């Protein structure tokens, strides 16, 4: 009985969080300044990337400048939400934000746990990545200049996706990624880069019961009690710390996080692992900021995040002239 009550409380808590964030994104999108046309951006919604599927997790939105004189670099954006909630629709701000700066943005849905536990979401994103690589040209995007970006769970997923595009993996869906164009950069923000051993955060500093419960539930819903070998790409941080066998070089990384984010340590460990592997990377830490602060675009530190991110992207693109 107590276990059932506890499970119900966890479900209600997550539902309340999801409803709040969904409403915030919905009403934020109604503000006149959020209209894409005011920024010279057009949006092509619900493009199906999984052939023959009618499932909502197999669609993406394309944000692009309405006026285009040449092929533009591509941002493949993966939303967060603890692998369990939210969607491309709650993360429209990133599609708009990058598109108004001259990028073609593919803002992607994927299967969510617990209905679709690991590796379902990552398999979906692998299919979406291959679809974008094959179809970017017809939307005005240059598939040879693709940047992966995502926050929170999305940061984990784009990091794993980058590994799958660089390593010879045993999974059939991952092997196919080696035939696609490699991304030129990866931008994981406030990432949960190891889903297993969620108790590690509480061992270093005291966390609220709510945060501890949510981290535990993420691990339970996404990977369950499976052994690490079965869920290796759910823990890309461990794979990088161990040293992956690369078939081609890893792309440049930009890692960002607020210093009050309860999962801050994963970004620090990611930067250290990339340094040891001699992978070009940068890490920015934003004093006093919490989880996913960059979505609150009117705040000073969020503006700083956008400045750092766009500057990084420009520098990466300077090193990768168009090959399309």
Q: Give residue-wise pLDDT tens across range 163-182.
A: 999 999 999 999 999 999 99
Phi first, then psi: give them for residue 140, nearest 5 degrees.
95, 15
Across all residues in the chain, what is the average pLDDT?
A: 93
pLDDT in tens, 81-137: 999 999 999 999 999 999 999 999 999 999 999 999 999 999 999 999 999 999 999
The reply to whether 152 belongs to the active site is: yes
Tell me the pLDDT band of 147, cut-offs 50, 70 and 90: very high
Parallel, antiparallel or unpaired: strands 281-286 and 185-189: unpaired
Q: Is residue 12 part of a domain?
A: no
- Pick the more confident residue, 56 or 1: 56
**How far apart (Å, rounded) are the C-alpha atoms in residues 234 and 210?**
23
**How far apart (Å, rounded) are the C-alpha atoms in residues 178 and 248?**
9
pLDDT in tens, 237-247: 999 999 999 99
**How far apart (Å, rounded) are the C-alpha atoms in residues 294 and 309?**
10
Q: Which of 323, 324, 314 is nearest to 147 (CA)?
A: 314
The answer on pLDDT for 256 being more than 60 is yes
Output the CA angle 84-89-91, nearest 5 degrees: 80
Q: What is the pLDDT of residue 8?
A: 47
Q: Residues 87, 144, 152, 198: which is the catalytic one? A: 152
Residue 188, Ramachandran bin (φ over 0: left; ψ between -120 and 50: alpha; else beta)? beta
Q: Is residue 108 part of a domain?
A: yes
Q: What is the pLDDT of residue 16?
A: 78
Per-residue tokens: 131? 């679809």
Q: Can you give the residue range of the structural domain that contains 302?
A: 39-319
The answer on pLDDT for 11 being more than 70 is no
Q: Is residue 28 part of a domain?
A: no
Q: What is the pLDDT of residue 205?
A: 84
Q: Which of 313, 186, 192, 302 is nearest to 255 (CA)?
A: 186
How many of the other CB atoms lie within 10 Å of CB of 234?
A: 27
C-alpha neighbours within 13 Å on the C-beta side of residue 288:
4
- Pick the more confident residue, 225 or 15: 225
Domain count for the chain, please give it.
1
pLDDT in tens, 279-318: 999 999 999 999 999 999 999 999 999 999 999 999 999 9
The answer on pLDDT for 2 being more than 50 is no
Cα-Cα end-to-end distance for the chain: 61
Tell me the pLDDT band of 20, cut-offs 50, 70 and 90: confident
The answer on pLDDT for 21 being more than 90 is no
Q: Is residue 9 part of a domain?
A: no
DSSP helix, strand, coil percent of the chain (3-state; round to 5): 50, 20, 35
**Owner of token pair 């409803």:** 19
Q: Is residue 234 part of a domain?
A: yes
SS3 labels along 2-41: HHHHHHHHHHHHHHHHHHHHHHHHHHHCCCHHHCHHHHCE
> What's the distance, CA 277 to chain centroid?
22
Tell me the pLDDT band of 12, cut-offs 50, 70 and 90: low
Q: Are 104 and 64 in contact (CB under 8 A)?
A: yes
Q: Which of 118, 121, 106 is nearest to 55 (CA)?
A: 121
Q: Is residue 10 part of a domain?
A: no
Q: What is the pLDDT of residue 19?
A: 84
Q: Is residue 24 part of a domain?
A: no
Q: Is residue 200 part of a domain?
A: yes
**CA distance readout (Å), 313 to 91, 128, 191:** 20, 22, 19
- Pick the more confident residue, 22 or 274: 274
Domain with residue 173: its CATH number is 3.40.50.1820
C-alpha neighbours within 13 Å on the C-beta side of residue 47:
18
Handedness of CA 188, 189, 192, 194 (dihedral sign): positive
- Pick the more confident residue, 178 or 17: 178
pLDDT > 70 fraction of the chain, expressed in percent and rounded: 95
Predicted model pTM: 0.94
The answer on pLDDT for 29 being more than 90 is no
pLDDT > 90 fraction of the chain, expressed in percent and rounded: 85
């Amino acid at each position: 009985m107590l276990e059932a009550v506890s499970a119900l409380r966890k479900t209600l808590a997550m539902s309340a969080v999801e409803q709040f964030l969904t409403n915030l994104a919905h009403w934020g999108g109604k503000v006149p300044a959020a209209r894409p046309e005011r920024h010279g951006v057009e949006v092509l919604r619900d493009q199906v990337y999984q052939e023959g599927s009618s499932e909502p997790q197999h669609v993406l939105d394309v944000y692009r400048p309405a006026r285009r004189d040449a092929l533009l670099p591509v941002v493949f954006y993966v939303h967060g939400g603890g692998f369990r909630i939210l969607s491309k629709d709650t993360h429209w701000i990133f599609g708009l934000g990058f598109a108004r700066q001259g990028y073609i943005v593919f803002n992607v849905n994927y299967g969510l746990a617990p209905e679709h536990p690991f590796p379902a979401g990552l398999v979906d994103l692998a299919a979406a990545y291959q679809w974008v690589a094959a179809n970017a040209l017809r939307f005005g995007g240059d598939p040879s200049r693709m940047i992966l970006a995502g926050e929170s769970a999305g940061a984990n997923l784009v990091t794993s996706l980058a590994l799958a595009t660089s390593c010879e993996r045993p999974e059939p869906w991952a092997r196919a990624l080696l035939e696609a164009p490699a991304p030129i950069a990866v931008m994981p923000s406030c990432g949960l880069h190891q889903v297993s051993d969620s108790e590690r955060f509480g061992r270093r500093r005291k966390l609220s019961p709510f945060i501890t419960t949510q981290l535990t539930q993420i691990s339970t819903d996404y990977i369950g009690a499976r052994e690490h070998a079965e869920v290796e790409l759910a823990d890309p941080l461990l794979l990088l710390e161990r040293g992956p066998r690369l078939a081609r070089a890893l792309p440049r990384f930009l890692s960002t996080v607020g210093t009050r984010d309860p999962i801050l340590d994963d970004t620090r460990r990611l930067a250290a692992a990339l340094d040891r592997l001699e992978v070009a990377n940068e890490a920015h830490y934003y004093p006093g900021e919490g989880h996913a602060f960059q979505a609150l675009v009117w705040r000073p530190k969020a503006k700083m995040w956008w400045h750092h991110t766009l500057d990084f992207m420009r520098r990466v693109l300077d090193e990768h002239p168009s090959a399309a």
